């Protein structure tokens, strides 16, 4: 049973017990429903308490059941909530820890809510492209006022119950207790239950007004302003707009009509491609933390002190992550000026957060106290993890890893932040290759959530488990890759960008390519992206590629821009022009002329290319390479690739990542287009042969999820 029942005096206690978050899956719903009936039928029982076992009340619906028959099998969550609300005896929700989504809806269906100080609540459904579908949009406004409820339901954020308790006239929290343990909290809630056992009629949130302290005209303005804001920030997502509509209904319709509206919208949103994509990503983010051949009980090497070698752009950004988690970190560099710059930059980052009210002065002090800078390589000796972030040259990595091997303590994890070099080779510079792992952070490393964890042929399981735990601690989304040139993200990006250059060679302007893919939903097109990152980075990589991969066809159009010194925003000129100090990209007539001259020289007559061809060539290049990575075992799951692209490369979340997108469009349509691209003499014709995995999926009628 995922909910247990006990009787204490005149109170029946239903304890939700479905680890890890007391999800309200079918078995839990059945158990609550049947315990509730027993309690109602037992004449000795005068009040009923619903409480969560372990650390929380309930994390809400069981998302694994979404889209399965169990989700709609009786008793539905609505039925359970109705049973609570219509119980002739008072039902009291005892909320400690967290009550989210369906968990909060269940609590709001009870007659009273007793909360433990420190507890939090949230309505996060919007993040899955839906809205609360078990009365949440209709009861929350009636509990805390439409204005605050709107904020919570549209943003999906977590709110402190202590703060909500302060809202004038709120009816969400009847008592805020400060009991010292869960057990004491249950005891204190039972006392409250006894005290309300005789109260009639029983209070129900559905009978309240949602107006709160606001006037009608203020509320109308509020709804309008939300809609206007969302039209800029959420144009690809229908759910936030529907959340506004649903909350607005609490002022226009009666409760039953409002519930009917909520249900219809909930069912419709569940079917939208945006919600399917967001739910896919939610599940993908959970599964990417699991490594098939590394059991969950693998012992962890504690990481209590860190050393970073290389105080450049990456070393500095990476360091901030560890300081934020208050892990003592030493940055080592051979250059004192680099160390001084790193310290100043870290302090500057914190100071600007203080100026924005996002950090307290005391937090800055605590974090800076964890930082040490040093010119002495010997200072890595106490580190549990040593991370190398020096120049991207194998000879420099060799020198540094040999020193790390000689000086780091036994059992220390030796990590590299290389973006392109062979980590098997780097590991071979040490006598402990099992301790070596790639930790590929993305720039700016203190902001980008993605972390590619690169396992070599010899990386030990406990090293992998330890860095995954560390990633969680510093709030990164870690995805495991095996060694290859570019790992997962950059290897796919190379094919995407190669297509962007071919498209320009054949007739597009850089702006046209950017606009088309930004219209698809990418945060930034490839040309604006490279202007931001610096065109010199890609230039250096291409020069190496021309030598390493002579069989691969490249357009040289990008070299032309670099040869003119147009390195991007940092030189106020790249694929676009930039006014000094400004980030706004302005179409450059000079670049268009350079491209036109380039075509003339190569004998190419520019042709008109539509947005659909632009998007398909860029996207199918990503998907084809992604399929190849799966075939080679570099990526373990298609969904891992989606997580990488959405969290690290600006792929639109509402499309669910490249591999999910491929599943949606279907392999037949995709391979037919690819066949067309393979006829194009200006493209890399060989590349467009569908990867073997795509051919297999096409033949079997399966998709990447299978």
Three-class secondary structure assignment of 6-74: EEECCEEEEEECCCCCCCCCHHHHHHHHHHHHHHHHCCCCCEEEEEECCCCCECCCCHHHCCCHHHHCC
Verify whether residue 125 is a known catalytic residue.
yes
Q: Which residues of 28-66 are buried (b: 16+ CB within 10 A; e: fewer)?
A: bbbbbbebbeebbeeeebbbbbbbbbeebbbbbbbbebb
274 to 313: interface string for ligand NAD, x by CB under 6 A = -----------------------------------xxxxx
Total interface residues for ligand NAD by CB under 6 A: 23
> Whose Cβ is closer to ligand NAD: residue 145's or residue 310's?
310
Tell me the CA end-to-end span of the chain in Å, nearest whole number: 31
| CB 543, min distance to ligand NAD, A | 15
Taking the C-alpha atoms of residue 81 and residue 110, their distance in angstroms, rounded to an integer, is 7
From candidates 105, 333, 514, 559, binder to ligand NAD by CB under 6 A: 333
Q: Which stretch binds ligand NAD (CB under 6 A): 228-236, 247-255, 257-265, 413-421?
A: 413-421
The single residue of 43, 65, 125, 494 carrying the catalytic annotation is: 125
Shortest Å distance, C-beta 312 to ligand NAD = 2
Shorter beta-carbon distance to ligand NAD: residue 208 or 329: 329
Annotated active-site residue 105? The verdict is: yes
Q: Distance between CA 287 and CA 298 in Å, rounded? A: 17
Tally: H helices and E strands in the chain: 29, 19
The residue from 68, 73, 231, 334 that contacts ligand NAD (CB under 6 A) is: 334
Report CA-CA distances (Å) from 404 to 297, 376, 377, 578.
29, 12, 8, 43
- Which residue carries 């609490």 as its tokens? 250
What number of other Cβ atoms are within 10 A of residue 316's Cβ? 26
Closest listed residue to residue 280, CA positions, set 648, 643, 706, 703: 643
Site membership for ligand NAD, residue 670 (CB under 6 A): no
Q: Under the criterion CB under 6 A, does residue 315 sit at the interface with ligand NAD?
A: yes
Q: Which is nearer to ligand NAD, 351 or 399 (CB)?
A: 399
The verdict on whether omega for the bond into residue 201 sits within 30 degrees of 0, i.e. cis, is yes
∠ CA(570), CA(576), CA(579), 5° rounding?
60
Q: Let me know if 166 is exposed, middle or buried by CB neighbors in 10 A (0-12, 13-18, 19+).
A: exposed
**Cβ contacts of 106 within 8 Å, gap of 6 or more:** 24, 32, 50, 58, 77, 80, 81, 84, 93, 99, 134
- Tell me whether residue 391 or residue 546 sits nearer to ligand NAD (CB atom): 391
Q: How far is the CB of 514 from ligand NAD (least distance, A)?
A: 20
With CB atoms as reference, the residue minimizing the distance to ligand NAD is 312
In the complex, what is the shortest distance from the CB of residue 444 to ligand NAD, in angstroms, rounded to a whole number? Answer: 8
Asked if residue 330 binds ligand NAD (CB under 6 A), the reply is no
**In the bound complex, what is the minimum distance in angstroms from residue 315's beta carbon to ligand NAD?**
6
Distances in Å between the Cα of 601 and the Cα atoms of 558, 592, 594 are 15, 14, 11
* 208 vs 316, beta carbon nearer ligand NAD: 316
- Residue 377: CB minimum distance to ligand NAD, A: 7
Active-site option among 105, 248, 452, 625: 105
Peptide linkage before 75 cis (omega within 30 of 0): yes
Which window, 126-134, 153-161, 412-420, 463-471, contacts ligand NAD (CB under 6 A)? 412-420
Nearer to ligand NAD, 124 or 315 (CB): 315
Cα atoms in the 13 Å half-sphere on the side-chain side of 466: 23
340 is a site residue for ligand NAD (CB under 6 A): no
Shortest distance (Å) from residue 414 CB to ligand NAD: 14
Q: Going by C-beta distance under 8 Å and a sequence separation of 6 or more, which residues neighbour residue 317? A: 441, 443, 444, 445, 446, 447
Task: CB nearer to ligand NAD: give 238 or 486.
Answer: 486
CA distance linking residue 596 with residue 588, whole number of Å: 13
Q: Taking a C-beta distance cutoff of 8 angstroms, is the pair 492, 642 a contact? A: no
As measured in angstroms, the least distance from the Cβ of 288 to ligand NAD is 19
Stretch that binds ligand NAD, among 34-42, 111-119, 161-169, 328-336 (CB under 6 A): 328-336
d(CA 645, CA 622): 10
Among 34, 434, 443, 680, binds ligand NAD (CB under 6 A): 443
CB 544 to ligand NAD: min, Å: 12
Examine residue 338 and tell whether it contacts ligand NAD (CB under 6 A).
yes
Beta-carbon contacts of residue 689 (< 8 Å; ≥ 6 apart): 674, 678
Closest to ligand NAD by CB, 73 or 336: 336
**Burial classification of residue 538, based on how many CB atoms lie within 10 Å of its CB (0-12 exposed, 13-18 middle, 19 or more buried):** buried
Give me the least distance between CB of 392 and ligand NAD, in Å please. 4
Q: Which tokens go with 268?
A: 């419709």
Q: Indicate whether 335 belongs to the interface with ligand NAD (CB under 6 A).
A: yes
Task: Candidates 419, 456, 477, 555: give the one binding ligand NAD (CB under 6 A).
Answer: 419
Query: Binding string, 372-411, against ligand NAD, x = CB under 6 A?
Result: -----------------xxxx---x--xx-----------
- The piece of 118-126, 178-186, 330-338, 463-471 that touches ligand NAD (CB under 6 A) is 330-338
Any contact of residue 417 with ligand NAD (CB under 6 A)?
A: yes
Nearer to ligand NAD, 245 or 536 (CB): 536
Give the catalytic positions in this structure.
105, 125
Which positions touch ligand NAD (CB under 6 A)? Answer: 309-315, 333-335, 338, 389-392, 396, 399-400, 417-419, 441, 443
């Amino acid at each position: 049973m995922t909910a247990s029942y006990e009787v204490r005096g005149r109170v029946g206690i239903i304890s939700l017990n479905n680890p890890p978050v007391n999800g309200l899956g079918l078995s839990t719903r059945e158990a609550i429903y049947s315990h509730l009936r027993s309690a109602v039928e037992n004449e000795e029982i005068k009040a009923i308490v619903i409480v969560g076992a372990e650390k929380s009340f309930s994390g809400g619906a069981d998302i694994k059941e979404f889209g399965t028959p169990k989700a709609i099998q009786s008793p539905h969550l609505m039925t359970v909530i109705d049973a609570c609300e219509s119980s002739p005896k008072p039902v009291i929700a005892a909320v400690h820890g967290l009550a989210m989504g369906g968990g909060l809806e269940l609590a709001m269906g009870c007659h009273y809510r007793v909360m433990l100080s420190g507890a939090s609540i949230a309505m996060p459904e919007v993040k899955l492209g839906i809205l609360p579908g078990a009365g949440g949009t209709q009861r929350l406004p009636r509990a805390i006022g439409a204005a605050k409820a709107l904020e919570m339901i549209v943003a999906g954020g977590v709110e402190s119950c202590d703060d909500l308790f302060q809202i004038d006239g709120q009816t969400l929290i009847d008592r805020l207790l400060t009991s010292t343990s869960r057990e004491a909290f249950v005891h204190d809630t039972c006392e409250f239950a006894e005290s309300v056992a005789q109260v009639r009629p029983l209070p129900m949130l559905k009978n309240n007004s949602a107006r709160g302290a606001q006037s009608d005209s203020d509320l109308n303005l509020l709804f309008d302003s939300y809609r206007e804001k969302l039209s800029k920030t959420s144009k690809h997502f229908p759910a936030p707009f529907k959340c506004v509509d649903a909350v607005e209904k609490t002022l226009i319709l009666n409760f039953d009509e409002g519930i009917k509206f909520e249900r219809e919208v909930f069912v419709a949103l569940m079917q939208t491609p945006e919600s399917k994509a967001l739910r896919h990503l939610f599940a993908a983010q959970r599964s990417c933390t699991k490594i098939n051949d590394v059991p969950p009980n693998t012992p962890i090497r504690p990481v209590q002190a860190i050393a970073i070698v290389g105080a450049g752009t990456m070393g500095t950004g990476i360091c901030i992550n560890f300081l934020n988690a208050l892990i003592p970190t030493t940055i080592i560099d051979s250059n004192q000026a680099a160390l001084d710059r790193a310290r100043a930059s870290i302090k500057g980052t914190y100071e600007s957060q203080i100026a924005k009210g996002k950090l307290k002065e005391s937090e800055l002090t605590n974090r800076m106290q964890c930082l040490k800078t040093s010119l002495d390589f010997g200072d890595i000796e106490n580190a549990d993890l040593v991370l190398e972030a020096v120049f991207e040259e194998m000879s420099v990595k060799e020198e540094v890893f040999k020193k790390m091997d000689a000086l780091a303590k036994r059992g220390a994890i030796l990590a590299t932040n290389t973006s392109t070099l062979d980590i098997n080779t780097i590991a071979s510079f040490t006598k402990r290759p099992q301790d070596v792992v790639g930790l590929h952070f993305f720039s700016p490393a203190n902001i980008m959530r993605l972390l590619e964890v690169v396992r070599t042929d010899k990386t030990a399981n406990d090293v992998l488990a330890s860095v995954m735990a560390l990633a969680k601690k510093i709030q990164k989304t870690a995805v495991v890759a095996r060694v290859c040139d570019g790992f997962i993200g950059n290897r796919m990006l190379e094919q995407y960008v190669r297509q962007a250059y071919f498209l320009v060679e054949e007739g597009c302007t850089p702006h046209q390519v950017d606009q088309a893919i930004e219209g698809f939903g990418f945060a930034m097109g490839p040309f604006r992206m490279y202007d931001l990152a610096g065109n010199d980075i890609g230039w250096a990589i291409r020069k190496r590629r021309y030598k390493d991969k002579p069989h691969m066809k490249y357009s040289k159009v990008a070299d032309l821009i670099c040869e003119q010194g147009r390195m991007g925003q940092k030189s106020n000129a790249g694929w676009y022009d930039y006014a000094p100090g400004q980030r706004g990209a302005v179409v450059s007539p000079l670049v268009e002329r350079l491209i036109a001259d380039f075509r003339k020289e190569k004998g190419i007559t520019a042709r008109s290319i539509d947005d659909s061809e632009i998007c398909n060539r860029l996207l199918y290049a990503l998907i084809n390479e992604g399929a190849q990575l799966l075939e080679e075992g570099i990526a373990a799951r298609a969904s891992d690739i989606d997580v990488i692209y959405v969290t690290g490369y600006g792929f639109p979340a509402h499309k669910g990542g490249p591999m999910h997108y491929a599943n949606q469009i279907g392999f037949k349509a995709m391979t037919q287009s690819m066949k067309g691209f393979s006829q194009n003499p200006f493209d890399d014709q060989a590349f467009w042969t569908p990867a073997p995995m795509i051919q297999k999926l096409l033949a079997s009628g399966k998709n990447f999820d299978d």
